[in-house]
Structure formats: C-alpha cells, structure tokens
Amino acid sequence: MKKFIFKLIKKSFLKFCQKFEKKVFTNYLGTPYGGWYFIAPKQSKNINLISAGVGEDISFDIEFFNNFESKIIFVDPTPRAVQHIQEVIKNLGSEKVLDYDLSSGEQPVNSYDLTQIKEDNILLIDKALYNKSGLKIKFFKPSNDEYVSHSISNFQNRFDRNSDFIEVHTITLENIINTYNLDKVDIFKLDIEGAENQVLPDMLKKNIFPHQILVEFDELSTNFIKPYLKAFYIFLLLFFNNYELVKTDNFPNYLFVYKRSELFKN
C-alpha cells in the first residue's frame, strides 16, 4: 500500500511540474555531473554567482565565469570540497591541459581553464548553507567513502541520525549578502543534499529573490513520500513569489527564474 501511495504522489508531482513548466531557451555549461541549465544573462559583466554544495566538480562555475565575468562565492564545508577549491585558487591563471573526466564527479584542477580568473573573482566560505547562521550542526557522511557529498538531513543513509558525521558551522544566504555587500544575486546554485528545503523558504521569508535559482532537490532521489510533499510546498512558495519553473531535463535538478528580473525586461 505504501509503495502504491509513493508512486501516486511521485506521478502527481511530476505532472504538477509539467503543468507549470515554462519552455524557455536555456544554455548548458559544465560536465554531465557538474553542469547546469540556465538562461544567459543579458549583461556579461558584474554578475554575482553563489554556488553552494560544490564538491569536486566546479565545471559549471568555471565555464560560467569564462562566459560571463562574475564574482563567484563558493559555500561548502565538506573537507574534500574545501581542498578542491583551495587547489583551484592556488592554480589561478593556469591553462586547461586535460579534458574533463566524464566518468566521475571528481575533476582534476588542470581540467579547468583558469587563465582569466583572479583571486578577487573567487571566495570560499567553508560553512554549510542553512536557515540559521552560527549553528554547530552534524554534517553526515555519505554511505560510500568514495563519495564527497555530506548532508544535514542524511537522506543518503535513509535519514538515520546515528550514522557517522563531522561538525560544521552554518551560514544563511542573508548573512552572505550582508557580509559581502552584494547588491543582487544573479545565479543561486544549490546542490546541498536536502538543506534546500530549509534554505529556500528562509530566502523567500527574508524577501531575497535571486534572478535564477538552480537547485537539486536531492531527497527526491529516495523512495520516501515526505520529500515530495516538501518539494511540492516549496514549488508553491516559489510560484507565489513570482518565480517561473523553466523546463530542464535532468531530474531532480530544476531551474527557477524570477519574473521581475532583468531577464524578462525588454
């Protein structure tokens, strides 16, 4: 009976998404693992990109910078992700000498074209994006040690609160914006392993409206009913706050665009 209810809710959710999808021309940058669909900004300079949950594949972020001059703020406390970004920063100015590794989500640093990127263009915040700043919380390890992504909700381990974890500190989107005096957020990219369910409602509550939200609803990859109900609720919140769902082909990744942004102005 539970399996039947789950299938019914999942099917209803997917139909709900199809009904409200706005078909707009999109671009794709990055590898199959680390890449994302987005709408090309009308301006090519002074773009703020906040990329949360970066892992060891920042192909989208690097290619986005090389197409649109940007300030990139990476947010991730995962030890391997921090090490990866630090290695990238050490190699700024270097040419791309290797092709991307398309078989995994772990990219060699010299597979990125870093020739045009300077230290002023990149910032690393080694904290977990959440709905409250300054908390010290459990950050659960993935079930497979080869994987990089940790999770606050621990959906990888069936939401078990007793599995292995590290402790990290949290930060909110509002805190990032205020600390670094950002006048706007053009691209808000979220691959934060379930914490999007707390971050997005908090963002809207505080009247923060990024022009584009690129978000993976990670918990939808489980066979649980509750993640679909939470995603349905957040989709409604976004719709009621003037966001449009733009069709993408990479479930459970979604692209939302703010209808009042420059993207929809002539």
- CA distance linking residue 230 with residue 235, whole number of Å: 9
Q: Between vectors from CA 182 to CA 178 and to CA 187, what angle results, nearest 5°?
A: 120
- CA distance linking residue 20 with residue 6, whole number of Å: 21
Task: Yes or no: say if 231 and 206 are a contact pair by the CB < 8 Å rule.
Answer: no
Share of the chain above pLDDT 90, in %: 67
Radius of gyration of the chain (CA): 18
pLDDT at site 160: 65
The 3-state DSSP class for residue 255 equals: strand
- CA distance linking residue 54 with residue 2, whole number of Å: 34
- Give the mean model confidence (pLDDT) for residues 46-70: 95
User: How does pLDDT run across 120-159, given as a tens digit for each residue?
Assistant: 999 999 999 999 999 998 777 777 676 677 777 767 766 6
How many Cα atoms are found within 13 Å in the side-chain-facing hemisphere of 146? 3
pLDDT confidence band for 266 (50 / 70 / 90): very low
Percentages (nearest 5) of helix, strand, coil residues in the chain = 35, 25, 45
- CA distance linking residue 198 with residue 218, whole number of Å: 13
**Encoded amino acid at 1, one letter:** M
pLDDT at site 219: 87
Q: Is 218 exposed, middle or buried (0-12, 13-18, 19+ CB in 10 A)?
A: buried
Token couple for 206: 């505080």
User: How remote is the C-alpha of 133 from its chain's centroid?
Assistant: 18
Distances (CA, A) of 65 to 76, 95, 107, 195, 235: 19, 14, 17, 26, 28
pLDDT at site 161: 73
pLDDT at site 58: 96
pLDDT of 265 higher than 60: no
93 in the Ramachandran plot: left (φ > 0), alpha (ψ -120 to 50) or beta? Answer: left
User: How does pLDDT run across 207-255, given as a tens digit for each residue?
Assistant: 999 999 999 998 888 888 899 999 999 999 999 999 999 987 788 999 9
- CA distance linking residue 108 with residue 68, whole number of Å: 23
Task: Yes or no: say if 17 and 245 are a contact pair by the CB < 8 Å rule.
Answer: yes
